[in-house]
Structure 1
Amino acid sequence: MHFADEATTTTELTPLLADMIADATWAFVLAGVDHTAWIEQAGDGLEVCVESRDGLERLCRFDGHQWSELADEGPATRAAAESSEDSALSPAFLSPRPYRVDSLKPTDHVILSAADEEGYYAELFQMHQPVLVFVQTLLATGWRVRVTYSIPPAHDGRAEILLRADPPRSDHLYDKPIQRALGTVPGPPVAVALWTEAEPDSWDFDPNSTGFLTKASTIMERSPETLTDYALAVAPTWTLAAGVDEVVGVGSQPVRPSIVFTPPPPPTEAELAARQKAIRKWAADHDFSHEVRPATPKSVKAFLDLEGQGSAGYYLLEFHDGQCYVGQSIRIDQRLAQHLLNHPDTASIRIKADPAATNAPDVLRHLLHEESRLIHSAQWAGLHARTKSQMTVIVGTAALDEMLSTNEQADWLAKPLAGNADDLRYGRKLELTSTAFAGSEKNFNNVARLLGDERHHAFRLLERYLSHCVPLPNATEVHYWNISPPMNAYRGDPSARWRTLWCLSVGFVETFVILKELQTGDISGFVQVNGTELYGDTDPETAYIRMKRQHPGCEIRAAEYRDSGPDNFLIDFPNLKVLNRLLSDSHVTRAAATAALLLMRVRHAPKTRQQTHCPELVSAAWACR
């Protein structure tokens, strides 16, 4: 395999510049030859270097626009090359076992027939995907990565890949906010990991051998996800595309989706035919399925079950007016239900399953990366695509319009805190002595006890959420939102891991939840945000990495609640200090405010939720003003 076969020449920059050549760096990891790889600054550009026992090779150079090959069949390139036209990329000890034959030594390369080639590489990359993404992220963020292979003497032995990564020069290696979010790091923070075949064809990281290497040569255990989060947070700016570190929410223009989406005038018959033809061609060119009709969650689930490639991947919605929309989801059938709530004019759906997504170390990042590429392609093809902001909002009127006109809702969304000023000044509308809330004081006393020394901090953060993210919180209390501190509610699968301290819901949907981990006592939770406001309409992967850098320790996942719409996310935070940073970021609070407003447009709070409301908890929050 020649390096040029894998190196990209695209001018479409990825947020981590070296991700443009990810396939090439993966090839070296899978070649099974001990090596060290790194990226270094070279003049006005970057160069990728690989050193093996045969010497140093400078593979390719980035000139600010694209990567181009420097080496011509050097030692590292030869090591990654196929020994013959029909030999596989990887030696037998790294290959899926069904393709190994007894006559091969573990270090010999598997010989493939033309019929086996596609299946072999699909299984190979899926089996090793977590370690490939792990190495690529460290390499792309400036770390010097040494890859060493432990090769078994026979086929029945278990192979291992030992990784050691030395950090780049960075001003942020020991930043306190990063350590508060991700844990203490030793000096210097050398990352190590062991990728091992625990069972035949079942590879995983050894948790006892993965983490930071201390000066005493012991391992400070950390998960691979924590190590890559740390690498993203401390990455020097020369590894990043311009704009990744842009400070969002301070002096920048919000996306601000329209409160009511008004479809454009219908196309002529000829225009409609041309749009539908363009969609069919683009879908075929990008390996989407045939149209699934009717476009219902049930029919999509049946299609996914029949295909047998899992429920994660990408979808192409087509509307009756010839417009379309490209999206991604870990559960495509559930995501369609969210779309139909907002856009009943959906005519059909095409699907492109991605079985590798569920095995990815960071599922959302994996899906966003490919979604970003598909969106750019659809734009270049000139498809009439609806934007994420158009897809997020509710078509037509809503019950909330009786309290706030759509213009007032838009004004509130522009400046939520200012929009809440009069509501906060005039105080609560709720009758606090109502018998409807009998027993809530006991629940409040219980949650205050469980919070312990953190209770005042937690109440201050609740006040900030209510005043910055909830439309007219005093006027809409109980009617549109409620907060419940249950006496005995636990979460975790398969066994209870967290105790729910409080759950703030808008309508049916949880938007701000505080949890206490049973084993450690740590206070954590999640906030729901609108993805359009958080990410924008273009390049969601850049916005995702920006978020991970500005708020280390936070995890982002799709909100699968039906009422949330197709583009809402949950931001998980590991402690209240990280939550404080989140709610101090006007871009995040704008995204949370957008989510809350759009949820209020879906429905009132149900009676069952109103009956569990705890006004004493709200009073404790307002006492912090």
Structure 2
Amino acid sequence: MSSSRNAVDKWASKQGFGPVRKFEGTKTKIGGDPAATHAGFYLLMFKGDSYYLGESINLRSRMGGHSSFWGNEIEEVRFIRENLSKQQLQAVERLLIHELNRTVPNRCRNKTHAAVSFGTDKLEEFLDPAEQLRWLSAPAEFNMSDHSDLKAMNEAQAIKYKTAATRYADHSAEPATTQLLRNYLTNCVPVPKQTEFHGWNVSTGTYGGRRLLCVCVGRMETFVVFRDLHGFVNVRKSSILNGAMTQRAFARLHPDVAVTTVSYDDSGADTLLLKAKTPKAFSRLMSDPRVLDAAAQLVLDVMRKHPSVYTRYHCPQVVERAFPDVRRASSDEIDRLDAIETLQTIATQPVGGQCAEASTSQTRELLPDVVTEEVPDDVDIAWFVNAGPIASKRNTLEDFVTKGEWRMDPSARFEGHVQAMLQGERIAVRKRRNATDGVPFATRGNKVSVMDILLTGIITKNPGDGCSVKVRWDPQNKPRRWYLYTNQDPVWAVPHGLAPHNDELVAFTFDGGQQNIDSWRNRPFWRDRFGD
């Protein structure tokens, strides 16, 4: 038995996991009443000495999902049966994954909540493992030897953020901010000219314009510059606080930097957020080799897990300012690549027209409680927006339909939302109000938040002005009314495919679905006022 297995068994027993069981999918002996549904935690043990920790409200069903996904790679499993809510299970799971990752740092298969994930390297197509180690030993030197062009970008990506890019360029702090970005990319991001958009992205003007720059890797922000040139950077805690470099010693070196232990889903518990309180302190912080090395380690760990999921916010013009002497490949080149990929896809499809991968995905959807940790490259969003105030006589439904667009008055707070809208995403104009009449359930004298869906369509183009998009509107029908779960912001982004309550709203709005009003009014938030 390996030393890591001994360490895991000792740790698992200390945490209260039951005896080691042979993994047999849904037939695995969980313990307790075999006819009952058991919630709790499980620890999978794989061939080749790797481990995965998870939670489920139905452990038996979850074992079936893992069996379909990993098959005979799983040898054994241990359980803790705990009758907890989903939220409680997830909170404890996070802590257990942190502990498991510390116990066997390089043998944990979890991606979420783990600092390092075993068996996953999404960076390998850019740098093989040996090159990654060489990069980590001298990031700036390695990156300076990369003479690649910047990636070709779809023209729509640049157009979408042209207003934000112009504001960035016109900001008085642009030269200093761009230098900070260039320094971060050069010292902390593996071959940034190659991995742009795929592995990392940069946005500008988000959070109502408060953030001048934000670099994201995977599913987390790693480097942020605010408008007044203070900012923060996320780093590997174990890489910077070791030996004589205690947190107290670090504070003496950087007295105007707040040091906070944080835990992002992507980077796990071994993460520090270093926030400089002044521009001078931030500049000093980002000149400290120890900080840059610790930031580089974190970026490498996260980029190995999966690509960036925030590509919709990427502003290529900012990258071009950071690398002014580097050519960006033309959009014609990306068009040619798209054409080649399309031909390759057609050539590899079976005669029946359905590719094998799609068939596998359909099969997985039928399996109970299937678990995959692949992160989508982007999130499908449905946009719920307002028309203009009636008194203003601007931005009316008639205007929208006649001009084939949706438009709002300029708003710094919501400009970023509008810039994030993508061609092909769905959009609905709605009107929210509080109602007391015509409600199909007992209100007991309480007002009910309702949302009338007035117009739906598909976004066809984002001109990048931050206040409008072109839309192909559906034929107007009688407004449909949605109850309780509403939002009054002029732009409301509702992600689709991540949560059932949002999916029900999207299906109601765009697909003619029905709202299960009885279910909604009996949910905890509304139960006391409208429940049975």
The answer to whether TM tops 0.5 is no
| TM-score normalised by L of structure 1 | 0.36
| TM-score normalised by L of structure 2 | 0.42
